[in-house]
């Protein structure tokens, strides 16, 4: 029997409603992903992450109340096994900084949605083997 791995449940954290909407639609349309929830800032992100326990997080850096840099270590603490990908309009030079803060990867927004999904797929842990 051919079994498909469970989709990666992803929390989307971005202050722009349009970005969240596009990412939600992408998660709903791609079989390897599932939309787990959304947040518009870092304060909301922590609360939603604790409630839905996502396996993946897409995180913007520039947000009100608590930005992505301040949110990242808190997410990593609460979701040690989650894959956290920073998706930001900041220059790629910040990639090393966000990895030091706990991100698994950095994708510049100008790289586009396909690049983000590819990176989420690449940093996701391999599916567990099922024995029949």
Q: What is the pLDDT of residue 31?
A: 87
Q: Closest Cα partner for 98 from 126, 119, 127?
A: 119
Report the chain (132 residues): mean pLDDT per 10 consecutive residues.
Answer: 73 95 92 94 96 95 91 94 92 86 92 92 60 47
Cβ count near 5 (within 10 Å): 13
Q: What is the pLDDT of residue 3?
A: 59
Q: What is the pLDDT of residue 129?
A: 45
Q: What is the pLDDT of residue 128?
A: 46
pTM, two decimal places: 0.88
Q: Where are the domains of the chain?
A: 79-90+109-124
Cβ–Cβ under 8 Å, residues 10 and 87 = no
SS3 25: helix
Q: What is the pLDDT of residue 124?
A: 57
Q: What is the pLDDT of residue 44?
A: 96
For residues 7 and 31, give the distance between their C-alpha atoms in angstroms, rounded to a whole number. 6
């Amino acid at each position: 029997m051919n079994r498909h791995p469970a989709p990666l449940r992803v929390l989307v954290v971005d202050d722009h409603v349009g970005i969240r909407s596009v990412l939600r639609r992408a998660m709903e349309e791609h079989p390897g992903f599932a939309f787990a929830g959304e947040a518009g800032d870092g304060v909301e992100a922590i609360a939603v992450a604790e409630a839905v326990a996502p396996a993946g997080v897409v995180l913007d850096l520039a947000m009100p109340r608590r930005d992505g840099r301040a949110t990242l270590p808190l997410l990593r603490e609460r979701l040690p096994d989650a894959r956290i990908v920073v998706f930001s309009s900041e220059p790629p030079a910040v990639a090393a900084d966000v990895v030091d803060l706990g991100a698994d990867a950095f994708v510049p927004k100008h790289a586009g949605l396909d690049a983000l999904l590819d990176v989420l797929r690449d940093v996701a842990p391999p599916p567990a083997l099922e024995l029949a």
